[in-house]
Amino acid sequence: MLIFVRNRKINTLSYFKLGLNYAKKQDQNDELSTYRNQFHIPKNKQGNDLIYMTGNSLGLQPKSTKSYINQELEDWANLGVEGHTEAKNPWLPYHEFLTKSTAKVVGAKPIEVVVMNTLTTNLHLMMVSFYQPTKTRFKILIESDAFPSDKYAVESQLRHHGFDDKEGLILWKPRENEELLRYEDLETILKEQGDEIALIMIGGVNYYTGQYFDLKRITKLGHQHDCMVGFDCAHGAGNVKLNLHDSGADFAVWCTYKYLNSGPGSLAGCFINERHAHNKALNRFTGWWSHNKTTRFNMRDEFDQLPGAEGWQLSNPPILSMAAIKASLDIFNEVGIEKLVKKSKKLTGYFEFLLKQLGENAIKIITPSNPEERGCQLSIQVLNADKTLHNKLTEAGVISDWREPDVIRCAPVPLYNSFEDVYLMVEKLKLILNE
Ligand SMILES: *Cc1c(COP(=O)(O)O)cnc(C)c1O
């Protein structure tokens, strides 16, 4: 595997070294290492840090989050309804305080993004606009290992439009004895059935394998066949450089509670390509928050569509949850996604290097070995393992994620995981495997 370190192309399998001292040295030399102190790291009963490898499921809490939320609680206590305009961060335009940082994190223009609702809700709203089936072109293409919520959402859209959810769903599947998806196979599907497909909806980074798809390539292919193309970037936002605008995708959605560290069930993000920003003919569901801001409170006007992603909002949003998002985005803004991704590649490369020492008879890494085709997560298939392995890891202080029948998903997150975390995790796994 090749990665770039200080602009030099290096082969990581001979680049990294074994031993705890090496890990500690990497942490000392890591310019982002101090950010770990800005997060609450969960602890065991003895008060020692757990090895938290599940930032792909629920990101950790920034220590600053509490004061951001407290600010809004205080303004609410002191101002009541006046807080909408008089709060330190007025609530009426609060979502606008998140726009610039959100756009930066996902590589979009400000007009293309908005924070609203929750993820699956946004996916449905996007399909109201971008899934416009006809009698002959009504199918939806997803990856066969799509996140269950996405699959259920897509199936229900098919039924909602009166189609059979089995006939209408096309799966992009891995080949036999493989886990990853191949673009040649997508090309074949599109060549054969492209004119029946209305929408391609892919998880930008697959939640199970960690495969980071080439969004631009998929979009280009889809558009060549006149399909709409959207991505669920729940596992991409805050993890990889998404470049959503350049991808050309019609829409994308993501949550903020995974890599974006904004708290359980927090609000989600939504991207709508600039080329749709002023298209009032596009079908959509609307509410008073999709209406022109300057006349919104006249309350009696005819509906006047807001341009851009904001025009897909429905309701006035939960400020407390947005405050948590602001706390987190302020950290991302300070670090920048470039630096994060650079550390991430090194940290995950090191993780891969250590795991490979366990030998092919013990584990297999499903995630692509090319760092450009993955984020920080590695999905590790442990041969002959069952869930007792996961339980033992938990007892040993490693918080990881188990997927039946035999896969552990681990995500060393560059903002708060250390090289030492990665080292200790693999040592613990090794001990358990050697029992
Ligand atoms: C985490 C995740 C979800 C969860 O959806 P919610 O609406 O936030 O509950 C959906 N899709 C993908 C791809 C995910 O990774």
pLDDT digits (tens, 9 = 90+) for 167-206: 999 999 999 999 999 999 999 999 999 999 999 999 999 9
Question: With 70 as the cut, is the pLDDT of residue 12 above it?
Answer: no
Q: Alpha-carbon dihedral of residues 325, 60, 24, 336, nearest 10 degrees?
A: -10
Question: With 80 as the cut, is the pLDDT of residue 13 above it?
Answer: no
What pLDDT, in 10s, does the model give residues 43-101?
999 999 999 999 999 999 999 999 999 999 999 999 999 999 999 999 999 999 999 99
Please report the pLDDT score of residue 196 as a whole number.
98
Q: Whose CA is nearest to atom 13 of ligand 1?
A: 147
- Average pLDDT over the chain, rounded to an integer: 95
Please report the pLDDT score of residue 44 as a whole number.
94
The proportion of the chain whose per-residue pLDDT surpasses 70, expressed as a percent, equals: 97
Secondary element (H or E) of residue 85: helix 83-86
Query: Residue 232 CA: which ligand 1 atom is closest?
Result: 13
Please report the pLDDT score of residue 408 as a whole number.
96
CA distance 186 to 219: 11
pTM: 0.95
Query: Residue 255 CA: which ligand 1 atom is closest?
Result: 8
Query: Residue 146 CA: which ligand 1 atom is closest?
Result: 13
CB 377 within 8 A of CB 210: yes
Query: Residue 234 CA: which ligand 1 atom is closest?
Result: 15
Residues with CB under 6 A from ligand 1: 118-120, 147, 149-150, 203, 207, 232, 234-235, 255
Which of the 8 DSSP states describes residue 43?
Answer: B
| Residue of 16, 55, 20, 25 whose CA lies nearest to 416 | 55
Please report the pLDDT score of residue 164 as a whole number.
97
What pLDDT, in 10s, does the model give residues 153-175?
999 999 999 999 999 999 999 99
CA distance 279 to 356: 51
Secondary element (H or E) of residue 344: helix 337-356
Using DSSP, state whether 348 is helix, strand or coil. Answer: helix
Q: Quickly state the pLDDT bin for 16 (edges 50, 70, 90).
A: very high
Q: Within 10 A of 166 (CB to CB), how many other CB atoms are there?
A: 8
Please report the pLDDT score of residue 10 as a whole number.
54
Secondary element (H or E) of residue 73: helix 65-79
CA of 349 to the centre of ligand 1 (A): 26
Q: Quickly state the pLDDT bin for 316 (edges 50, 70, 90).
A: very high
Q: Which domains does the chain have, with CATH numbers?
A: 2-60+337-433 (3.90.1150.10), 69-334 (3.40.640.10)
Question: With 60 as the cut, is the pLDDT of residue 5 above it?
Answer: no
CA of 427 to the centre of ligand 1 (A): 31
What pLDDT, in 10s, does the model give residues 326-369?
999 999 999 999 999 999 999 999 999 999 999 999 999 999 99
CB 349 within 8 A of CB 422: no
Please report the pLDDT score of residue 406 as a whole number.
92
Question: With 90 as the cut, is the pLDDT of residue 298 above it?
Answer: no
CB 325 within 8 A of CB 115: yes
